[in-house]
Amino acid sequence: MAVSDHVDLPTFMEGVKKRNPGQTEFIQAVQEVAQDIYGFMEDKEAYHSAQILRRIAEPDRVVSFRVCWEDDNHNIRVQRGWRVQNNNAIGPYKGGVRFHPSVTESVLKFLAFEQTFKNSLTGLPMGGGKGGANFNPKGKSDAEVMRFCQSFMTELYRHIGPDTDVPAGDIGVGGREIGYMFGQYKRITNRWEGVLTGKGLEYGGSQMRPEATGYGAVYFLENMLKHKNDSIDGKTAVISGSGNVATHAAEQITKQGGKVLTLSDSGGFIHDPDGIDQEKIDWIKDLKNNRRGRISEYVDEFKGASYHDGERPWGVACDVALPCATQNELNKEEAKMLVDNGVIGVSEGANMPTTLDGVHVFHDAKIMYGPGKAANAGGVAVSGLEMSQNAERIAWDNERLGNMLTDLMRGIHEKCVEYGDQGDGYVDYVKGANIAGFKKVADAMLAYGVV
């Protein structure tokens, strides 16, 4: 193979920007990874000459399709759906489906790119993908959500399969939506197979899957603290979001003796100085999953708490912070506020919730900072175990899966330390996650030659 002229990092990024005009989230995600990988590849000609990073930053394919559905008033509605299959070097494409009005091709490309490294970090054989639609399930009836999901799957089914691509839930896609989509897949193909994860326990879902991402983010935090001979017990925590990841993160913080001060949604945040304990978390889960209400309703139920309309929670003083809502929800100024208020650890339940300059604030302050691709990998890891159980036609119990999740998160933390330890007691977890995630995918791609 010919020795290439290495392009330097700025030139590489110029190319990414030129080929993906206006795709700011995708460019941001590639930039964050490329700056670490360039250092790692410096003395590794094989990766350069095979153009490995350039190839990982070009999705294998992006499928875009029309999704028509009829609302309850008999209006015909048209949405756009996508599936981004980023890389399947180490296993079938795997990654969630997001239904939210903010979904664009750029957002899904960034998520599929990140997913490639995250899935590699789990140690399980899964490639990276992501999908979704610019559909807003909020305010829709169950029948409307069902019709949308069925229409979405009527196109998606031809691009997925248990050994091809296995989607899961994400923002706006929970148990209800997975049920409707799996039902439609089964109807069209006449096959019952593990083509989606996050399924209900009655039809092939895995124990621990709903809890896995939020619990995993807390286990990652626990491992970072343990590395410094510290623990979660007695710590105050600020958490954003109030969906699947946020409520389970809150639950695990509470189990480990921490005190959760905040939760939020896109309308604002609640601050409860008495702590959001298990009883309150159960109330929020019911509010969000069954009554489909807003977090602002919390203050009517629990006196002593306050609601902050249109604000994010990062100004509340705390020991640890867990952003668990969405991308770019924590900026430079908010990162500074957290550091000035004495935060010692940040573990990201959401994907890329901290902006790039916010990440620099955490690095400069040398606090423990666990990026989403490592800290929230527990969800996809248990999804991988759901695939294994479906393939074996077996269901493992809660205890076994709980132990597997804690082991997986410990393993991910160890890999981050292996490649991110700076030798002065500081662990650069972003660098560790990027390099460990990249290496396995890159080596598999080298083995395949130019494909």
Task: Give me the active site residues, please.
Answer: 130
Burial 1-12 (b: 16+ CB within 10 A, else e): eeeeeeeeeeeb
Interface residues with ligand NDP (CB under 6 A) are: 102, 169-172, 174, 213, 241-246, 265-267, 324-326, 329, 349-351, 376, 379
Provide the pairing of β-strand 76-87 with 127-133: antiparallel
Quote the CA–CA distance of 132 and 309 in Å, as a whole number: 28
CB of 96 to ligand NDP, least distance (A): 6
342's CB contacts (< 8 A; 6+ apart) are 317, 319
- Among the listed residues 170, 233, 229, 235, the one whose alpha carbon sits nearest the alpha carbon of residue 196: 170
User: Which residue type occupies 243?
Assistant: G
Question: How is the chain split among helix, strand and coil, in percent rounded to 5?
Answer: 50, 15, 35
User: Which residue type occupies 366?
Assistant: K
**CA–centroid distance for 38 within its chain:** 24
Residue with Cβ nearer ligand NDP (211 or 319) = 211
Secondary structure of 370-414 as H, E, C letters: ECHHHHCHHHHHHHHHHHHHHHHCCCCCHHHHHHHHHHHHHHHHH
CB of 108 to ligand NDP, least distance (A): 11
CB of 57 to ligand NDP, least distance (A): 20
Structure tokens at 434: 């990027």
Residue with Cβ nearer ligand NDP (316 or 325) = 325
Residue with Cβ nearer ligand NDP (244 or 262) = 244
Quote the CA–CA distance of 34 and 434 in Å, as a whole number: 9
Residue with Cβ nearer ligand NDP (50 or 213) = 213
User: Which residue type occupies 206?
Assistant: S
CB of 233 to ligand NDP, least distance (A): 25
Residue with Cβ nearer ligand NDP (13 or 284) = 284
Residue with Cβ nearer ligand NDP (23 or 351) = 351
Provide the pairing of β-strand 368-370 with 268-271: unpaired
How many other CB atoms sit within 10 Å of the CB of residue 174? 18
How many other CB atoms sit within 10 Å of the CB of residue 27? 20
CB of 52 to ligand NDP, least distance (A): 25
CB of 324 to ligand NDP, least distance (A): 6
